[in-house]
Structures are given as structure tokens and as C-alpha cells.
Structure 1
Amino acid sequence: MNAVDTSTVPAPAGGTHSTHPTNRFRLLLRREYWEHKGGFLWAPLIAGGISLALAVMAAIVGVVMLNRAAAAGDIQINGVDLGMLTREMSPSDAEQLALGLDWSLIMSSAWPFIVLTFVVFFYCLGALYDDRKDRSVLFWKSLPISDAQTVLSKVASAVVVAPVLAVLAAVVTMFGFLVLMSVMVMMFGGNPFTLLWAQSHPLRIAFGLLAWVPVYAVWALPTVGWLLLCSAWARSKPFLWATAVPVITGLLVTWFDIMELFQLDGSWFWRNVVGRLLLGTVPGSDVLYRTAEFGGNDIERAEQLLSLQWMYGIFLQPGTWIGAVAGAVMIYIAIRLRRWRDEG
């Protein structure tokens, strides 16, 4: 059983003082954070650090190869003036440079979000199962904390706390990558402020990533609800139940052409049921459901992704709220199961 800091545990009923429900919920969030700090905080930071280390290694290899090529006379790198690029660029070239830099910054910040996918998935899968497995559920049930507060604190940790920390790790990684590129530019006699910082939009990207958290919170609800339901219900192997049930159901629906009864094909079920149950913790998975809304050239599509109007347009789609309601129903069932479920 995990060690518990009893100084932060609300006093039992009939004690010398009582704790407001809001404070109890905040204490539960602190409990979840400290028990899963490695996944919530350190895993995204380490992932970002690994991506920066790989970028440094790639930069070193690139410089070494350039110097070797120059020594062999294959290319001439002496006297390169990178600042000339910004002085002689046309407006179209400047837009393309800004687009390339912005996409490089977005890609450099992707590693913490990749880790977030697995952290939230397995956190939800074990959130209620592990308490029953190590019998700590008996301790927490002895406290004046309701099952609803406990489960909802886990939901908030999954859809708010974890993604916010991942965004902060991604922003740190992004600025680290920008500093690395600045060093490379200075090594070749360029001005990083005019060539990189003035052309790219790191602050806008950072704000866009933080503004994306509410989208993630709502979009991930079906997956979070399903995983918590399996975590509360399964007596063993919750991962197998969580993945096998949707996949086998999808195979049966496709095999027997059940969706044709509703004038739909089997791919609709895989996309809107199986996909929403299993892939909601993948950051940006909502974009895959909106590819038809993309238009124009690469610059216009990049503008769409960073636009709050387009980002929050997901809230205007009925499927978003149908999934959110389904997730809320499964979370409610998980609360009820936790109330009565016991491993005996």
C-alpha cells in the first residue's frame, strides 16, 4: 500500500473539526498528483529532455559532416551570411520560413504529448482497480470522502492536471529547441533574433497549446469514462477487458454488417465507437475527426490549427457532446461500482 500523508487527510466525522467539500476535493487532487508525480510531471519532462538530447546529437553530427565536406572541398561554407536570407526574402518566402519554423517548434514539443497518451490511459485503467487490489480502498472508504469525490478527483487529474503539466513540459521543450537552433544559426554567422525569433511564433504556439486543454478535457471523456468503468468493474486484467470488448464488438459488428440496418458501414462504428472509447487520450485525435474542415494551402491550415475559433469549433459538433455525455454516464456507473464493489 502506498504511504499516505495523514496530515493532509480530512478529519473523521465527529472529530474536532470538519473540512469543506471544496478543500477535500483539493486534497484529493494533491493526493493524486503526489502519488502519480512520476507520470504526470517527470515523464513529460524526461521525454522533452530526450527529444532535445537527440536534437543536439543531430546538430553535432550535421556540423561535423559539413566540416568534413568543406575540408574535402565538396562544399564551401566560409563566409555564409544567414542574415542575408531575411534581408532578401520576399513576403512569400517569409511566410514559408515562418510556417516551417512554427511546424518545427510544434513537432519539437510533441514528445511530452506522446507520453501523455500512455500516462492518462494507464492511469485511468488502474485508478480504481489498484485501490481494490492493494486493499487501500478500505482505508479511503473509512474517511469522510464520498465515492463521487474520489472518482471525480481522478477524472480531473486525467483531463486537466496531466494535460496542463504536459503542456508546460512541451513549452519548455519548444523553447529549448528554439535556443538550440539559435546557437546553430550563430555558429554560421547568422542573427537568430531576425532569422528565427522574429519569424516564428513561439508565444502564440504556447498559448494555443494551453488553450487546447479544455478541448482535450471534453474530447477525452468517453475514453476516460470507459477506462474508469473497466477499472472499477474488472476483478483482474482491466487492460484486456478495456481493449478486447470494443475491438471484439467492432469485429462482430463488421462481420455481421449490423450497421447496414442503420444505413451505415462498419467503419462508422470503428470510428465513432471503438475509436472514441480507446483513442480519446491521444492528444490531437479530435483533429482526425475534422479533416474535412481543412482548406487552403499549408499556411492556411497551420493558421487553422492555432486559431481559437477553429479549435473551439469542436464544441459546436453534436458528436463531441454525445461522447461527453456517454463518458459522464460511464463515470457515474464507475462511482456506483466503487460504492458496492469489493474484492472480498
Structure 2
Amino acid sequence: MKQLTTLKWLLKREIWENKALLIWSNLALAGVILLVTILGVFRWSSIVFANNVPVNLQVETVSAGVAVYFNTGFTIFALMMALTMYSYVSGSLSQERKDRSILFWKSLPISDELTVLSKAIVALILFPLMASVTLILTMLISMFAVYIACAIHGVSLFAALFGNGVLWGRIGTMCLSLPVYVAWALPTVSWIILVSSRFIRRVSLWVALIPIAIYFIFAIFNEISGLKMGTSGLAYVLFTRGLFSIVPNNWMSNFHISPALDAVPNGAVHFGGSTDLPAWSLFASADIWLGVIAGVAMLYAAARVRRSHGE
């Protein structure tokens, strides 16, 4: 119970110290999207109704645009989340050594393991959760703006907008994929935290440089020795799983993608997801569990490094 209470306060500390990355960045992005969307919606509605477009065509246009709009919003929020999460994790342990605040925190009865765990929880759970909630609210407010703009011209599209199964399917898939994302992104987050625990400056450079160096050393050794061992597997471990797992739906490039995505624009395929993508089936693969094991091991190593390099 004491450990849980301590963890709760550590999480509050992380949220308080990183409001700009965790909260304000999402709200600012939502504000920009809503401003552009609302201005565009009212301009679009005035043009459409001025040309007396039949209601059935209006409904079809709106219904088709909902999925594209949601996928576009998902893409923007996914990129923002990945960048802010990366920024947070890369400075998670290095910053406290840089400003010497680690001396204060080590004077308290707080274990290194619990400190590292709190930072991993914020990165893996709170960042995706905040981005998802903000995205959903932004999309719903945008849908209300479309409805109001059409209602001003005497056309009700409430059923077409809020009864759209594609929209709710996208939202449901995104929510159901959150546990998969947490497990899938764990190796990358753990790797960045481990590097942050060892280096004080240029953490982002070391995060990328070490895997690149390992890959080239292996490739050169492979060429000189004549063993001809495949480097594609190593590239997958080091880069796809090691560096880029924090990108939402990164697993879609390596596992089954539903044929339903054929109707989604190419630019949104990687990020958008589909209503019947069996994301939870990834838990039946060894890939995700090996990543979880590696991630937990790196978090433990980060706690040990923090303990030994705390001054």
C-alpha cells in the first residue's frame, strides 16, 4: 500500500512537471484543428447549398468524409504524441542529473525502481490516453460544427454524422488498441529511458547512434567473415522494434491488415487502422512478448544505472 501511495505521488509529480508536453500540446493542436475545421466547414456548407446539391449527395459526401477526416486527425495526433513522448522520455532521467535535482529525490525514501516505473507509466499510458481523449473530443466537436452549419441551411445531417458506423468503429478500434500499443511500444520507451539514465547530454543522438553503430559493425563483420548472415532480422530488432515502436499502429506494417483498409486513402493507411483489424491477436505472437521481456529488462537496468550514477 505504501508503494502504491508513493507511485501515485510520483505520477502526480511527472504530470505537474510535464504539463506542456502531456496536456498543453494536445490542447493547442486540438484548437488549431478545430479553428481550421470550423472555418472550412461553414465555407464548404455555403458553397454546397448555394449550388443546390441534392440532400442524398450531401449525406453521401459527409458519410464518406467522416472516415477520411478521422484518419487524418489520427495521423496528426499520432505524430504529435510520438514526438512529445520521445521528448519526455529522452529527458526523463538525464534532466534530473543535469539540474542536480536527483540529489533531492535520492534523499527521499523512494526507490530507483519506482521512479523509473512512474516515468514508464506516464509515457506508455498517460500520453496515449491524453492524445486519444483529445482526438475523440476534437472529432465530435467538429461533427457538431458540420451539423450546425448544415442546419443553418435547413438540412439535418445528424443521423449521417453521429449514426455513422465507420466513425464509431474507428473510435472503438483506437480504444481497443491502446493495450496493444502499450505492450508494443514498451521496448522503445525502455531503451530511451535506459540511455537517458546513462547519458546527461545528447540523449536523442545516443538513442539512435548506438543501434546504427551495432548494425554497421555487424554488417561489416558479416562481410569480412563471409558468413553471409542475414541483417534484415537485426534491422527489425534494432530499428522497427527498438526505435520506432512508439509510432502508433507500427505493428500494421508487419502483421495482417484488414482488406477494409482498401477504401482508406494511402496516406492514412499506416496510422488510421480499421474497424476489424484484429490488433489483440498480436498477443498470440512471440514478437510482442519478447519485446515486453526486453522492455522490462531495460527498465530494471535503467534503475540500476540510476542507482550507480546518481551523483
TM normalised by structure 1 equals 0.78
Q: Give the 5 Å matches for 1:301-312.
A: 305-307=274-276, 310-312=278-280
- CA shift, 1:293, in A, is 4.3
- CA shift, 1:83, in A, is 4.3
What residue in structure 2 maps to residue 148 of structure 1? 113
* Gap change, CA 1:271 and 1:52, over 3 Å in 2: farther
The code of the aligned residue for 2:274 comes to L
Selected match of 1:38 from 2, 9, 20: 20
The code of the aligned residue for 2:300 comes to Y
Contact 1:175 1:202 in 2 (8 A): no
Is it true that 1:215 corresponds to 2:215 in the alignment?
no
What residue in structure 2 maps to residue 337 of structure 1? 305
Contact 1:223 1:327 in 2 (8 A): yes
- Over aligned residues, Cα RMSD in angstroms? 3.1
- Structure with larger Rg: 1
* Gap change, CA 1:303 and 1:228, over 3 Å in 2: closer
Deviation beyond 6 Å, 4+ runs, structure 1: 300-304
Q: Deviations over 1:289-341 (max 9, x none)?
A: 22x4433673699997333x701111111111111111111111100001110
- CA shift, 1:199, in A, is 2.9
* Gap change, CA 1:342 and 1:276, over 3 Å in 2: same
Q: Deviations over 1:46-67 (max 9, x none)?
A: 1122122222343455467x48
Partner SS, residue 274 of structure 2:
helix
* Gap change, CA 1:303 and 1:109, over 3 Å in 2: closer
Q: Give the 5 Å matches for 1:182-221.
A: 182-187=147-152, 189-221=154-186
What residue in structure 2 maps to residue 82 of structure 1? 55
Q: Which runs of 5+ in 2 are unaligned?
A: none
- CA shift, 1:113, in A, is 2.3
* Gap change, CA 1:325 and 1:181, over 3 Å in 2: same
What residue in structure 2 maps to residue 122 of structure 1? 87
* Gap change, CA 1:254 and 1:177, over 3 Å in 2: farther
Q: Deviations over 1:211-239 (max 9, x none)?
A: 22211111111111110110001142211
Q: Give the 5 Å matches for 1:90-129.
A: 98=63, 100-129=65-94
Q: Which runs of 5+ in 1 are unaligned?
A: 1-18, 68-75, 87-93
Of residues 204-213 and 157-166 in structure 1, the stretch that sits farther from structure 2 once superposed is 204-213
What residue in structure 1 maps to residue 284 of structure 2? 316
What residue in structure 2 maps to residue 48 of structure 1? 30
- CA shift, 1:139, in A, is 0.8
Cα distance in structure 1, aligned partners of 2:178 and 2:226: 36
What residue in structure 2 maps to residue 16 of structure 1? none
- CA shift, 1:26, in A, is 0.8
Cα distance in structure 1, aligned partners of 2:40 and 2:237: 40
Kindly tell me the number of residue pairs found equivalent between the two proteins. 305
TM normalised by structure 2 equals 0.86
The code of the aligned residue for 1:40 comes to L
Is it true that 1:242 corresponds to 2:207 in the alignment?
yes
Partner SS, residue 306 of structure 1:
coil
* Gap change, CA 1:285 and 1:110, over 3 Å in 2: same
Q: Which has the higher contact order (CA 8 A, sep 6+)?
A: 2
- CA shift, 1:270, in A, is 2.3
Is it true that 1:24 corresponds to 2:6 in the alignment?
yes
Of residues 328-337 and 210-219 in structure 1, the stretch that sits farther from structure 2 once superposed is 210-219
Cα distance in structure 2, aligned partners of 1:170 and 1:216: 16
Cα distance in structure 1, aligned partners of 2:157 and 2:291: 45
- CA shift, 1:84, in A, is 6.4
